[in-house]
């Protein structure tokens, strides 16, 4: 069976690749390795090394997402991933997942990011049955707009077994 990757995970990977490659633009190449792995290789438009790769692999819980930097000499540097170095994507959405996604989106849209503007954001990440949803956001300090963006984690915690938001927080990445 071919590796099925949810669109939100692809969207998250592409946003992060554009950020890691720099300048907001990149050339993408997708390489499937069997039915259990997909590499999305991103290079700067000027073809300057190194290449940044989003590696999506099948795991028991869904799909794991990790990043690596491939250098011209053939060496590979792990850049990690999201919590515990992987991002777990649960099985198809159900009513609670849909309601939580809507609540998390609403909280994100209305959140007051004091002192910085959000330039980009990855998709939502969560563990099956978990009450905490998170996404990586890339913010720019309003007092120093010429500085590079900084990565933060936007975290929404729900009351157990509901879509009621219990807490919202932003942490440095």
Q: What is the mean pLDDT of each run of 10 residues along the chain (173 residues)?
A: 67 74 72 76 76 77 77 80 44 72 91 86 80 90 88 91 90 83
pLDDT of residue 87: 43
What pLDDT was estimated at residue 29?
Answer: 80
Residue 1, pLDDT score:
53
Is residue 1 in a domain?
A: no
- Report the number of distinct structural domains present in the chain: 2
Report the alpha-carbon distance of residue 139 to residue 129 in Å, rounded.
29
What pLDDT score does 104 carry? 93
Is the Cα dihedral 125, 69, 42, 15 positive or negative? Answer: positive
**CA 143, 145, 146, 147: dihedral to nearest 10 degrees?**
80
Q: In angstroms, how far is CA 33 from the centroid of its own chain? A: 22
- 43 and 75 together in one domain: yes
Residues 71, 108 within the same domain:
no
Co-location of 26 and 63 in the same domain: yes
Whether 111 and 136 map to the same domain: the answer is: yes
């Amino acid at each position: 069976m071919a590796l099925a990757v949810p669109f939100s995970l692809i969207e998250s990977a592409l946003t992060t690749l554009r950020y890691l490659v720099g300048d907001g633009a990149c050339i993408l190449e997708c390489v499937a390795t069997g039915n259990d792995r997909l590499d999305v290789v991103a290079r700067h438009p000027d073809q300057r090394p190194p290449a940044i790769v989003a590696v999506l692999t099948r795991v028991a819980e869904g799909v794991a997402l990790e990043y690596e930097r491939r250098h011209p000499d053939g060496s590979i540097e792990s850049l990690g991933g999201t919590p515990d170095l992987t991002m777990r994507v649960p099985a198809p959405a159900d009513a609670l997942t849909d309601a939580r996604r809507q609540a998390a989106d609403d909280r994100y849209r209305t959140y007051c990011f004091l002192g910085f503007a959000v330039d980009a954001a990855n998709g939502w990440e969560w563990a099956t049955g978990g009450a905490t949803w998170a996404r990586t956001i890339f913010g720019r300090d309003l007092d120093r707009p010429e500085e590079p963006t900084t990565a933060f984690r936007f975290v929404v915690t729900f009351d157990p077994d509901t879509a009621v938001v219990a807490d919202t927080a932003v942490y440095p990445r």
